[in-house]
Amino acid sequence: MPKIKQLYSAEQIQTRVKELGGEISEDYRKLPRPVVIGVMKGAFCFLADLVRNIETDDTLQVEFVRLASYGSASESSGQIQTPYLELPNIFNRHILVVEDIVDSGRTARFFLDYLEGQFKPASLKIASFLDKPSRRVVPVRADYVGFTINDLFVVGYGLDYGERYRELPYLGELSGVEATAP
């Protein structure tokens, strides 16, 4: 039987996202038209809350891509798929990538390298709702992190297990499931 144990409540998440929004506002305040790129699907809740807590002199541009790594429901494979990678011309802009979680680091590394190669950004940073540094396979450092967690499988607030549980308003640890897709 799948069991979900709450790790961070909706209120705790909102408080932390507000703090992160404040930090990002300070760093991006004076920059011209910062571009925020959300990595679907997992980042949809975080991005929606984060941008509403960012205040800059110029307004933000919000874009989305969809990246996926094939594999089982709870282990990424290392092969990055790009189901949607359409971006306008954002050459030489200040880019902030918004991720749900940096786990092995493969997805983030792939996307940072892609953006660097395609658009030579004026600056390129990552805001990730979660960081699991103990799982890192390729070197990536997230510049803004909501919560650093241990090697647990978590769901909710956008994160899924086999396309379930994304809608939960809190973050929970999932247990009692197979490591293969249901």
Choose the one of ligand IMP, Mg ion, none that binds residue 121, judging by a C-beta under 5 to 8 angstroms depending on kind.
none
Nearer to ligand IMP, 28 or 161 (CB): 161
The per-residue DSSP string of 49-108 comes to: HHHTT---SSPPEEEEEEEEEEESSSSEEEEEEEEE------TT-EEEEEEEEESSSHHH
Amino acid identity of 83?
P
Rounded to a whole number of angstroms, the minimum distance from the CB of residue 163 to Mg ion is 8
153 is a contact residue toward ligand IMP (CB under 6 A): yes
Instruction: Figure out which of the listed residues 36, 65, 96, 104 binds ligand IMP, where binding follows CB under 6 A.
Output: 104
- 140 with 131: CB under 8 angstroms? no
159 is a contact residue toward ligand IMP (CB under 6 A): yes
37 is a contact residue toward ligand IMP (CB under 6 A): no
Q: Is 103 a catalytic residue?
A: yes
123 is a contact residue toward ligand IMP (CB under 6 A): no
Rounded to a whole number of angstroms, the minimum distance from the CB of residue 71 to ligand IMP is 8
CA dihedral in degrees (100, 102, 105, 109; nearest 10)?
50
> Per the residue annotation, which of 103, 113, 151, 160 is the catalytic one?
103
Q: What does DSSP say about strands 123-131 and 76-84: parallel, antiparallel, or unpaired? A: unpaired
Nearer to ligand IMP, 94 or 106 (CB): 106
128 is a contact residue toward ligand IMP (CB under 6 A): no
Amino acid identity of 119?
F
Binding mask 52-91 for ligand IMP (x = CB under 6 A): -----------------x------x---------------
User: Which tokens sit at 135?
Assistant: 């799982």
CA angle, corner 80, sides to 40 and 173, nearest 5? 55
Choose the stretch contacting ligand IMP; rule: CB under 6 A; options: 4-12, 27-35, 90-98, 149-157. 149-157
Tokens 């990730």 label which residue? 128
Chain residues binding Mg ion by CB under 5 A are 160
